[in-house]
């Protein structure tokens, strides 16, 4: 877990957040133990902003990875910051019931499961 949180904290340093100032890093571990990182990237329109969790997931998918174990999300906030609704949807569909580790710069962390963060997801089972 420590290695994953460290990767998320390091990815956070690359965030492009000139509008909100809220930098987030994510580190997604696949079932082979490889870590795929992402950071949030803001845009002036704000609607085109992409969160760290989606950057990490999309990067892993674009490299052919399809099976994941857990994700760490790191932000500089006293309250541990969970993935937003859009990220929960993407993580559920692409990664399944991952372990989610929330961490902050003060060294606090918490472990959850996606099913607890996203208890009644809309997914491919509804459209097949």
**Start-to-end Cα distance in the chain:** 36
**13 in active site:** no
**How many residues in the chain?**
128
CA angle 42, 46, 50 (to 5 degrees): 45
Among residues 53, 67, 93, 99, which one is catalytic?
53
Candidates 82, 84, 83, 79; CA nearest to 106 is: 79
What positions carry a catalytic annotation?
Answer: 53
């Amino acid at each position: 877990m420590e290695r994953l949180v460290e990767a998320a904290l390091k990815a956070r340093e690359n965030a492009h957040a000139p509008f909100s100032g809220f930098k987030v890093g994510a580190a997604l571990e696949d079932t082979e133990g490889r870590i795929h990182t992402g950071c949030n990237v803001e845009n002036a329109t704000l609607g085109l902003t992409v969160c760290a969790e989606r950057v990490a997931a999309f990067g892993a998918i674009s490299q052919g990875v399809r099976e994941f174990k857990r994700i760490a999300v790191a932000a500089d906030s006293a309250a541990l910051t969970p993935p937003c609704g859009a990220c929960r949807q993407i993580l559920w569909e692409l990664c399944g019931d991952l372990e989610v580790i929330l961490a902050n710069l003060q060294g606090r962390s918490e472990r959850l499961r996606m099913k607890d963060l996203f208890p009644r997801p809309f997914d491919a089972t509804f459209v097949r």
